[in-house]
Amino acid sequence: MKNWRFYTCFFLCSFKLIHANLIGGTFAILSNHYDTVSMDSQKIITTIAPIVNLAVTFTLSFVIDKFKFRHIIIPTYILCLAHALTFQLIKDNSVLYIIYFFAITIITAIDNLSTFPHFMKVFGMKYIVVIFGIFNIGVGYFNLGISIIVDYVLSGREKGDDYDSGLDLLMYVSAIFLLISLLLMTLENEKPIFPNIDD
C-alpha cells in the first residue's frame, strides 16, 4: 500500500464501471419512463444479455491475452466515454437504446476479461485476491454513491425537460468518472510491482 500504483489502480478500478452499472441499473426504469422498450421485450433483453456477455467473453478469451492491457482497455473505454456523452441523444429511440444496452454489456465483458489478469500480473498471485477484494470494495462504495446521486437527482422530477436535464447530468457525471479512469489507464504498464513476490 506504500506504492503509488496501488492507489492509481484502486481508483481506476473504482471509477471505470460506474457508467456501465448506471446504464445496467436504470435499463428498466428508463425504458418504462420513455416508453422505449416494452415489458415483454425487457424480459427478453435481460435474459439475452448474460448470453451475449458469455459469448463475447468466450470468443475474446482466445485472443485477448495476446495484447497489452492498455491496448485493449483504453480503446474500449474511449468507446464507453462516447457512449456516456451520446446516451441522452438516443434514450427515446427503441432500436438505438437496445443497441446501446448491448454495447455496454460487451464493454463490461471485455473489462472483466482483461482487468483481473492484468492486476494479477502487476501485483503477483500471492496477494491478488486480497488486493482485488479491496478494489471491489471501492467499486461497491462508489456505485452505492452513484445510486444515491441517481435517487437524489431524479427524485420528484416528472416527464419532460426537467427529467431529461437530470438524466443528462447523471450521464455527464459518469463521463467525468470515466475520463479520470481513462487518464489513470494511461499510467498503467505490464511491469510487476514485485517481480519476485511469487518466489
Mean pLDDT taken over the chain:
87
Given this model, what pLDDT does residue 199 score? Answer: 46
Q: Does some domain include residue 4? A: no
pLDDT digits (tens, 9 = 90+) for 7-43: 999 999 899 889 998 998 888 888 888 888 899 999 9
Query: Residue 156: CA atoms inside 13 Å, Cβ hemisphere, count?
Result: 2
Residues whose CB is less than 8 angstroms from the CB of residue 137 and which lie 6 or more positions away in sequence, other chains included: none
Q: Domain of 133: which CATH number? A: 1.20.1250.20
- What residues make up the domain containing 170? 12-185
Q: Is 10 left (phi over 0), alpha (psi -120 to 50) or beta?
A: alpha
List the single range of 5-9, 28-32, 128-132, 195-199 with lowest mean pLDDT.
Answer: 195-199
Whole-number Å distance between alpha carbons of 132 and 115: 10
Residue 196 banded pLDDT, cuts 50, 70, 90: low
Is residue 5 domain-resident? no
Report pLDDT for 97: 92
* pLDDT tens track for 65-112: 788 888 888 999 999 999 999 998 998 899 999 999 999 988 988 888
Q: How far apart are the first and last CA of the chain?
A: 20
Instruction: Give the total number of structural domains in the chain.
Output: 1
pTM for this structure?
A: 0.84
C-alpha cell at 75: 480503446
Average pLDDT over every residue of 160-185: 90
Q: Is residue 145 part of a domain?
A: yes
Domain membership of residue 47 (yes or no) is yes
Rounded to whole angstroms, how far apart are CA atoms 93 and 74?
28
Is residue 31 in some structural domain? yes
Answer whether residue 196 is part of any domain: no
Residue 195 lies in a domain: no
Selection from 118, 124, 126 nearest residue 194 by Cα: 124
Task: Report the share of the chain in percent with pLDDT over 90.
Answer: 29
Whether pLDDT at 156 is above 80: no
